[in-house]
Structure 1
Amino acid sequence: MNTSLKQTAEAGSAPAVDVGDADYLKRINAARVYDVAIETPLMVAQQLSQRIGNRLFLKREDLQPVHSFKLRGAYNKIAQLTAAERERGVICASAGNHAQGVALSGRNLGIRAVIVMPRTTPEIKVRAVAGFGGEVVLHGDSYDEAAAHAAELQACDNLVYIHPYDDPDVIAGQGTIGMEIVRQHPADIHAVFVCVGGGGLLAGVAAYIKSVRPDIRVIGVEPEDAASMGAALATGERVVLKEVGLFADGVAVKQAGVEPFRLCSKHVDAMMTVSVDEICAAVRDIYEDTRSLAEPAGALAVAGAKKYAAETGIVDQDLVAIQSGANVNFDRLSYIAERAELGEQREALLAVTIPERPGAFREFCTIIGDRSISEFNYRYADAASAQIFVGVKLTNGVAERDTIVGDLEAAGHPVLDMSRNEMAKLHVRHMVGGRARGAGEEILFRVEFPERPGALLKFLNSIGGRWNISLFHYRNHGHAHGLVLVGLQVEPAEQQDCRHALDALGYDYAEETGNPAYQLFLHDA
């Protein structure tokens, strides 16, 4: 399992089929998933395929009644219970998607279903579980804590535990996705990409595909901060991660399952990880091709397929990525959209030092040229130099970013690339500011200008050459007009001239010097 992606691209593995594999093939073929689940379409992502130079097909598990593949495994397991077991009722622990599958399965089969969910679970999933008739219990901050509490409740109430991934019937239910992929796409498939949490989906899909089409590569994809299966396969035994990231909450598992690990050790060709930014970029890619919104875990496989194509250099191949779920909280979309630009290398975040004098900002923007600035954060600090935090839109990725950095440094402006600085992306970009000691006579304006190349430079040519800019904050929100908060150092005798200059510019603006928010947090009293 130390096979590199390049080696995996050149030749897929073909493990021998033993008795256990034959049993899984039989289990998958006989799985009772279609009482509630649908056979989801395998659709080509046209725009993304053109960009990566390969044909990428999306297996649309987000179209299931619970908007996730988890319904398959949950229903197949519960449908196998004896009459006595059904009478006892079932319980599970889940970050949300398995929970919905168990709740809907319980309702359809007339069985009590208790669902223990971490307190960090998105509200949309909690409401969905309750809507399907599940008895929701919120406990702990991770899947593992919820699972421990579920075990306690199981013992107290004598319930049947429905594991989200470490159960042969659950794995077989998920394996029907592999069966459908092979049937829906009989032509050659270079690789199938599968998101991985505990490993049930990867195990089921790999077990089926390697039993009938061993030439197809099966590749698992994990977040960089929750790669338990990759760590297990690399060391040859299951490991427990000290902590896992919760952004892709559907796969935030500290330890791979016993049975999934056994099956993946035999059948999976390679594991790979993707960053938060790459996941966010994949969410946007899926939206642009399908107009559907994948949850972070649901976009993992697409992020992996993109990265694999780039790193191996393959072209004109058929790739399949399982779009595994669409239960995303609406309030996370702004964060996803922001990080997607960085994940696609369409934005550079730079910390630049420029001299603190009138016209310096204009000179900086002249170097940037016609490129769009996505945000600009600055607050006066001292009379010698200014530290600015700027986002620049890119059309040519890393090469263009390097060109910008080189041009700025050649002009005598030290630059620090913050595009991969997690703290800068999460916090600092929103915290640049504060009270400016020594800013002198400062007046504040809120300005609205058309969101087009050159509009910001026009503003600076009219204002920034005469009066020093002591505060500047701008973020591109995707609207037709950009919003800027700007502070200018203007002597009292020239303040009326400054307002006339703004009038002549023709942009809508409002003076905010008297705004209490400015007086409380930004003004040097």
Structure 2
Amino acid sequence: MDYLKKILTARVYDVAVETPLERAPKLSARLGNDLWLKREDEQPVFSFKLRGAYNKMAGLSAEERGRGVVCASAGNHAQGVALSARKLACRATIVMPVTTPSLKVEAVRGLGGEVVLHGESYSDAHLHALELCELHGYTFVHPFDDPDVIAGQGTIGMEILRQHQGPIHAVFAAIGGGGLISGVAAYIKAVRPEIKLIGVQTTDSDAMIRSVRAGERVPLSDVGLFSDGTAVKLVGEETFRLTRELVDDFVTVDADAACAAIKDVFEDTRSILEPAGALSVAGAKQYAARHKLQGETLVAIACGANMNFDRLRFVAERAEVGEEREALFAVTVPERPGILRDLCTLIGPRSVTEFNYRISDPKEAHLFVGLAVGDRDESASLARRFIDEGFPVVDLTGDELAKGHIRHLVGGRSPQAHHERLYRFEFPERPGALMRFLAAMPPTWNISLFHYRNQGADYARILVGLQIPDADLPTFHDFAEGLGYPCVDETENPVYRLFLG
């Protein structure tokens, strides 16, 4: 009840806005449940962190504000403190690791924060911020382990219940240090205790889950950095106490699932969440599937959208795997002319997302194949089909090395690729297009290199190495012209000569 009073009297709306609670129609239809998004990504600093920071700072005395505040952060909390300080006309020193991207540093400076770059990690920055407190008498504004910060975040729970007064089965929130879920749970469990609170963490940053299971705070030696907003090695004392007491269940999701959730939210809202902001959506999807929920109302707190633009390439590539719409295989086939066409015949009309091959051995070849699938069961069925046809296969769908690196590195120079010519083709992308391309090619031409990636565009791009006798070059030119698609001879390209020729 003490937290209920603190949340009801929290001073957040001088700087924060009451964010909308929006239904996600496409994702709701797919899940068979009503999924609502609490749009904290629409705050002035694109994150919920503003609420807790301002509530803490607004409660300081005039003398304390006069001495200034300090915090350690490389992201959303830093911006929340900086904006709050500008509103309250007090000095804010933000200690950030020297590795912080310049985009975030400039964002904090743009809000009026005094940035101090110190140390290689958040831990280094945190210790330096505490030293500045001792040296200058600053007030430390903790990112999560402070009752006033927790109460500020709890206003999100208050808004959810005011905005949706009907039945709610569960509310999902990402957990880093635990401030968000502690505040939301404190309010909801006091007012609507029948609503479940589900915490979501990444598989490589699950300090809260381990702590709750152990009955004490458990520090992690390392944390994953993809969801940097939740990459916390040790949760707070107060947030641990509240989470252990009030949160009903937990879900862990991997980076692929987070990428798929970012895509899901984009398709419903045309907004792009940061990885931490999408964890709640990924968790809701997984929880609904695990418990076979149907017709329930679920709320996911979209807690942030401070996404670095250069990460979008990774997100787009991994979303299909995270949604279990792409299966990756290493397929071993005998090395003979026409084998790629035979393999495509086995694959059938399904969409090919990637097809990499480089000649390397006179007896057998190893292909990296990506295929569009409906679910994980279809992936297993395809693997069995390859094996039944005499093609040994390794399912790489869950292999991080394969997804992150090997798929881009298949190839290299080959002593078998003598008299090779390299061609680049471009043609309209549609199911079966790759098979039609291979079927039109004379079977006597040996393919020594093949690289194809379907990136969701209207046009497919294929790189092909062919061992064509000089006497067959006129025939090849007729073949290329008959396709009616752009074809570029890259045999003399210096990049090819350097890396593949």
For the aligned pair, the TM-score class normalised by the smaller chain equals over 0.9
Deviations 1:364-414 (A, max 9, x none): 1111111111111111111111101011111x2122212222222121111
Residue type of the partner of 2:11?
R
Deviations 1:207-252 (A, max 9, x none): 1111111111111100110001101100000010010000000010
- Counterpart Cα distance in 2 of 1:271 and 1:506: 55
Q: Which residue of 2 aligns with 1:371?
A: 350
Residue type of the partner of 1:470?
S
The equivalences for 1:170-249 within 5 A come to 170-249=149-228
Deviations 1:311-340 (A, max 9, x none): 011111111110000110111111001111
Aligned with residue 376 of structure 2, among 388, 393, 398: 398
Q: Which residue of 2 aligns with 1:423?
A: 401
Aligned pair in 2 of structure 1 residues 49, 239: CA closer, same or farther (>3 Å)? same
Give the conservation status (yes or no) of the 8 Å contact 1:198–1:253: yes
Q: Which residue of 2 aligns with 1:455?
A: 433
Deviations 1:81-114 (A, max 9, x none): 1111111111111131111100000011111111
Deviations 1:231-282 (A, max 9, x none): 1100000010010000000010001101101111111111221011111100
Give the conservation status (yes or no) of the 8 Å contact 1:74–1:101: yes
Aligned pair in 2 of structure 1 residues 119, 49: CA closer, same or farther (>3 Å)? farther
The equivalences for 1:24-423 within 5 A come to 24-394=3-373, 396-423=374-401
The equivalences for 1:509-524 within 5 A come to 509-523=487-501
- Helix, strand or coil for the counterpart of 2:264? helix
- Helix, strand or coil for the counterpart of 1:427? helix
Q: CA deviation at 1:122?
A: 4.6
- Helix, strand or coil for the counterpart of 1:40? coil
Q: Which residue of 2 aligns with 1:475?
A: 453
- Counterpart Cα distance in 1 of 2:100 and 2:289: 33
Q: CA deviation at 1:499?
A: 2.4
Deviations 1:469-511 (A, max 9, x none): 1111111222211111110111222233222211222111110
Deviations 1:45-71 (A, max 9, x none): 111111111111110000110110000
- Helix, strand or coil for the counterpart of 2:234? coil
Q: Return 116-125 or 229-238, whichever deviates more.
A: 116-125
Aligned pair in 2 of structure 1 residues 330, 75: CA closer, same or farther (>3 Å)? same
- Counterpart Cα distance in 2 of 1:393 and 1:145: 45
- Counterpart Cα distance in 2 of 1:196 and 1:119: 25
Q: Return 125-134 or 215-224, whichever deviates more.
A: 125-134
- Counterpart Cα distance in 2 of 1:123 and 1:386: 45
- Counterpart Cα distance in 1 of 2:23 and 2:103: 28
- Counterpart Cα distance in 1 of 2:475 and 2:128: 69
Q: Which residue of 2 aligns with 1:16?
A: none
- Counterpart Cα distance in 1 of 2:479 and 2:99: 51
- Counterpart Cα distance in 2 of 1:179 and 1:120: 37
Unaligned runs of 5+ in 1: 1-21
Q: CA deviation at 1:128?
A: 1.9
Residue type of the partner of 2:234?
Q
Aligned pair in 2 of structure 1 residues 242, 304: CA closer, same or farther (>3 Å)? same
- Counterpart Cα distance in 2 of 1:464 and 1:198: 61
- Counterpart Cα distance in 1 of 2:397 and 2:262: 19
- Helix, strand or coil for the counterpart of 1:57? strand
- Counterpart Cα distance in 2 of 1:501 and 1:443: 15
The equivalences for 1:474-493 within 5 A come to 474-493=452-471
Q: CA deviation at 1:158?
A: 2.4
- Report sequence identity in percent: 59
- Helix, strand or coil for the counterpart of 2:465? strand
Aligned pair in 2 of structure 1 residues 121, 49: CA closer, same or farther (>3 Å)? farther
Aligned pair in 2 of structure 1 residues 154, 259: CA closer, same or farther (>3 Å)? same
Give the conservation status (yes or no) of the 8 Å contact 1:67–1:327: yes
- Counterpart Cα distance in 2 of 1:398 and 1:280: 17
Q: CA deviation at 1:157?
A: 2.8
Give the conservation status (yes or no) of the 8 Å contact 1:95–1:249: no
Give the conservation status (yes or no) of the 8 Å contact 1:121–1:249: no
Q: Return 366-375 or 250-259, whichever deviates more.
A: 366-375
Q: CA deviation at 1:447?
A: 0.8
Q: CA deviation at 1:454?
A: 2.0
Give the conservation status (yes or no) of the 8 Å contact 1:124–1:328: no
Q: Return 428-437 or 143-152, whichever deviates more.
A: 143-152
Q: CA deviation at 1:125?
A: 2.9
- Helix, strand or coil for the counterpart of 1:499? helix
- Counterpart Cα distance in 2 of 1:209 and 1:457: 56
TM-score (norm 1): 0.93
Aligned pair in 2 of structure 1 residues 119, 316: CA closer, same or farther (>3 Å)? farther
- Counterpart Cα distance in 2 of 1:184 and 1:118: 39
- Counterpart Cα distance in 2 of 1:119 and 1:356: 52
Q: Return 372-381 or 228-237, whichever deviates more.
A: 372-381
Aligned pair in 2 of structure 1 residues 197, 182: CA closer, same or farther (>3 Å)? same
TM-score (norm 2): 0.98
- Counterpart Cα distance in 2 of 1:345 and 1:371: 15
Residue type of the partner of 2:441?
I
Q: Return 474-483 or 232-241, whichever deviates more.
A: 474-483
Aligned positions, number: 501
- Helix, strand or coil for the counterpart of 1:58? strand
